[in-house]
Amino acid sequence: MVAIPDLARELSKEHFMLEYDQAGGLTVTDLSSTNGTTLNGVDIAPAIPYGFVFGDLIEAGGHRFRVEARSRVENREVA
C-alpha cells in the first residue's frame, strides 16, 4: 500500500491497484473509485485489470504516476 497526500480529496481510500506477476507482466485495476483512473489518457473500467508497461502514465484524482524499473533484484539462497 502507498499513501499519497491528497489535500483536494480527489483520491478514494483504495483507488487503484498495481500488480506485477512472476512472468513480468504489469496490470492496473481501478477499485471502483469515485473519480476513476486513466491509463495513458484513456479511462479504464472498474474491476478489470489492464496491462501496461514500464513508463506508461496512470492518472487518478488529479495525480500522475509513472512506474519505472530501476534495477532487477536477484533472489539468492542463503547457505
Higher-pLDDT residue of 9 and 52 is: 52
Residue 44 inside a domain? The answer is yes
Residue 73 inside a domain? The answer is no
Which of these, 29, 58, 66, lies nearest to 41 by C-alpha position?
58
Residue 37 inside a domain? The answer is yes
Check residue 73 and give its pLDDT.
Answer: 63
CATH number at residue 29: 2.60.200.20
CB distance 65 to 54 below 8 Å: no
State the residue range of the domain holding 48: 16-66
Please report, in angstroms and rounded to a whole number, the separation of the first and last CA atoms in the chain: 32
- The count of other CB atoms within 10 Å of the CB of residue 44 is 20
**Global pTM exceeds 0.85:** no
Mention every residue, 6+ apart, whose C-beta is less than 8 A from residue 9.
none
Residue 74 inside a domain? The answer is no
Residue 79 inside a domain? The answer is no
pLDDT digits (tens, 9 = 90+) for 13-62: 899 999 988 888 999 999 999 999 999 999 999 999 999 999 999 999 98
Residue 47 inside a domain? The answer is yes
Give the chain's domain count: 1
